[in-house]
Amino acid sequence: MPGTLRFLLGDQLSRSVSSLDGLDPHGDVVVMAEVGEEATYVPHHKKKIAFLFAAMRHFADDLRGEGITVDYAAFGQAGGPASLTEALQQAVERHRPDRIVVTEPGEWRVLQAMCDWSDLFGCPVEIREDRRFLCSTEVFARWAEGRKDLRMEFFYREMRRSTGYLMRGKDPEGGAWNLDKENRKPLPKTLAVPERPSFLPDATTRRVLDTVARDFADHFGDLDPFDYPVTREDALVALDWFVENALPLYGDYQDAMRTGEPLLFHSNLSALINCGLLLPAECCRRAEDAYHSGAAPLNAVEGFIRQIIGWREYVRGIYWLKMPDYAASNALGADRPLPAFFWTGDTDLNCLAQAIGETKANAYAHHIQRLMVIGNFCLLAGLDPRAVQEWYLLVYHDAYEWVEMPNVVGMILFADGGLLASKPYAASGAYIDRMSDYCGGCRYDVKQRVGPDACPFNPLYWDFLARHRQRFSGNRRMAMMIATLDRMEPGQLAAMRATASAFLDDLG
């Protein structure tokens, strides 16, 4: 008797995902597929592909352990599908279902394909809301309607009220909504970083690694060593470890950077949340419980929860509110191609060498490396927003278009003209020197602004402000920087701009 096909995407690896609601294990079939199109529409980092394929296979095994029928297409098998649409079409031909149930996807292009499936397959397709997010796209759109400023801070406060996280009645715990000013401490040289648990590949994951090594050899990044959770069980171990060992100091040092220490006190849970092995609500509850039990301070827990119910939910809302036009945003007219060292990490700028090198090795860099080192350089150098979007999408194992695009377009590049951020996140070398040990190992001098030995971030910063002075002159958050620019001796500014120009000319 025909039943229901329940099509699961690779970032929907949650037993509570809406497409599995009401599943009948005696008649329904869960369809999953590793398809080449999803792995190659941008050439994703090898570790990202390996992580998702391994997580998908383990999740399928978990479902089978419940007695659920899973129709699974592994990458590279004979006659395997090249796209999501082809995967579902093959499954429809095999099972002849009376309907198809899916959960809404995270990316615009996939939703456009889904909307055609009912006509294509001659079968009803039910697209259900992704309730793993704590704010639906409809609720976000109602919040945004009529607002002059779509600032995350205002949205975050509404999310605190609606979820009740860190609330004392109608007021925020501790009396302040946002404790970010307490979370910007440089890392003491003597402070030890906690040792993380190891998640060695099992036989299933090793088979995936062999596939990726063979079929995606020309993709960016290092595949070995691979040591990351790919099961629900191990994801929970990683969450518990973070809350107990790293969360207490996460708040103080979340903006810090140290050579050779890519993780520091960061959770490294974002890829697990974004693919569904962890749920955002359970991560917030675990952190909140740590605060109430006295195991973690308020600034750490508030900062962690803000990243989830603030930024994560907010950028998803912006993405669906503004797509598809948002992708082409380029308010600053940036058009410079990516330098070659974005693919190799081979540059004399030690901060970029560290951040890109760690990205290449781990498919990960923490948020300050992404924003204030790599992103800051992209902004100051005027790199093409579409090229930067593609780079961020393919190099990080937690990157999907819904989360990557608003962060790059709005927060990193100010390419949306200030829709998301109230000012560009531009900084000179002094910020990187204050928050890291990178400058001590660099061939450039962070104290110099002019000449071949000057830290390029310094002249690039002032050249950026000079190029866009008219645009930013009315921005109150930029007033101090513009006033400093206007007080500069013309000869000093000209020398810095000449240094910046010479550096940019050499990038080619």
Is 209 a domain residue? no
How much of the chain is in helix, strand and coil states, percent to nearest 5?
55, 5, 40
Write the pLDDT tens digit of every residue in 39-88. 999 999 999 999 999 999 999 999 999 999 999 999 988 778 999 999 99
Return the pLDDT at 472. Answer: 94
Among 255, 290, 322, the domain-final residue is 322
Query: Are both 189 and 294 inside the same structural domain?
Result: yes
Query: Are both 498 and 439 inside the same structural domain?
Result: yes
Return the pLDDT at 184. Answer: 87
Tokens 């649409």, located at residue: 85
Write the pLDDT tens digit of every residue in 99-128. 999 999 999 999 999 999 999 999 999 999
Query: Are both 301 and 402 inside the same structural domain?
Result: no
Return the pLDDT at 2. Answer: 66
Q: How confident is the model at residue 195 (pLDDT cuts 50, 70, 90)?
A: very high
Q: How far apart are CA 368 and CA 388, in angstroms?
A: 16
Q: How far apart are CA 238 and CA 245, in angstroms?
A: 10
Task: Mention every residue, 6+ apart, whose C-beta is less than 8 A from residue 303.
Answer: 179, 180, 183, 250, 251, 254
Q: How far apart are CA 230 and CA 269, in angstroms?
A: 11
Among 86, 111, 128, the domain-final residue is 128
By C-alpha distance, which of 115, 78, 102, 119 is closest to 28?
A: 102
- pLDDT of residue 332 exceeding 80: yes
Return the pLDDT at 76. Answer: 86
**CATH number of the domain enclosing 392:** 1.10.579.10
With 0-12 CB in 10 A as exposed, 13-18 as middle and 19+ as buried, what is 401?
Answer: buried
Q: How far is CA 82 from the centre of its chain?
A: 26
Is 329 a domain residue? no
Is 331 a domain residue? no
The HSE-up count of residue 327 (CA atoms within 13 Å, CB side) is: 13
Among 81, 108, 128, the domain-final residue is 128
Is 237 a domain residue? yes
Return the pLDDT at 190. Answer: 93
Return the pLDDT at 392. Answer: 98
Return the pLDDT at 146. Answer: 92
Single pTM value for the model: 0.96
Query: Are both 153 and 293 inside the same structural domain?
Result: yes
Query: Are both 51 and 142 inside the same structural domain?
Result: no
3-state secondary structure of 285: helix
Beta bridge partners of 315: none
Return the pLDDT at 309. Answer: 97
Is 332 a domain residue? no
Contact 57, 140 (CB under 8 A): no
Task: Mention every residue, 6+ apart, whose C-beta is less than 8 A from residue 438.
Answer: 257, 259, 350, 351, 354, 373, 432
- Number of structural domains in the chain: 3
Is 335 a domain residue? no
Query: Are both 183 and 69 inside the same structural domain?
Result: no
Structural domain containing residue 318 = 137-204+217-322
Query: Are both 192 and 289 inside the same structural domain?
Result: yes
- Within 10 angstroms of residue 264's Cβ, the number of other Cβ atoms is 21
Distances (CA, A) of 400 to 10, 26, 394: 11, 34, 9
Query: Are both 188 and 312 inside the same structural domain?
Result: yes
3-state secondary structure of 312: helix
> Is the peptide bond preceding residue 225 cis, with omega within 30 degrees of 0?
yes
The mean pLDDT of 294-303, rounded to a whole number, is: 97
Q: How far apart are CA 456 and CA 464, in angstroms?
A: 12
3-state secondary structure of 449: coil
Query: Are both 354 and 310 inside the same structural domain?
Result: no
Distances (CA, A) of 294 to 31, 237, 386: 44, 21, 45
Is 381 a domain residue? yes
- pLDDT of residue 375 exceeding 90: yes
Instruction: Average the pLDDT over each of 169-173, 179-183, 208-212, 402-406 and give the range with the smallest value.
Output: 179-183
Q: How far apart are CA 482 and CA 484, in angstroms?
A: 5
Tokens 């401490």, located at residue: 185
Query: Are both 369 and 500 inside the same structural domain?
Result: yes
Q: How far is CA 391 from the centre of its chain?
A: 12
Q: How confident is the model at residue 407 (pLDDT cuts 50, 70, 90)?
A: very high
Q: How far apart are CA 179 and CA 173, in angstroms?
A: 11
- pLDDT of residue 1 exceeding 60: no
Return the pLDDT at 329. Answer: 97
Give me the chain's average pLDDT, please: 96
Is 210 a domain residue? no
Query: Tokens representing 375?
Result: 């992103």
- pLDDT of residue 203 exceeding 70: yes
**CATH number of the domain enclosing 62:** 3.40.50.620
The mean pLDDT of 16-29, rounded to a whole number, is: 96
Query: Are both 179 and 298 inside the same structural domain?
Result: yes
The mean pLDDT of 327-355, rounded to a whole number, is: 97
Q: How far apart are CA 296 and CA 282, in angstroms?
A: 16
**CATH number of the domain enclosing 237:** 1.25.40.80
Query: Tokens representing 427?
Result: 């900084």
Report the percentage of the chain scoring pLDDT > 70.
100
Query: Are both 109 and 249 inside the same structural domain?
Result: no
- pLDDT of residue 433 exceeding 80: yes
- pLDDT of residue 323 exceeding 90: yes
Return the pLDDT at 78. Answer: 79
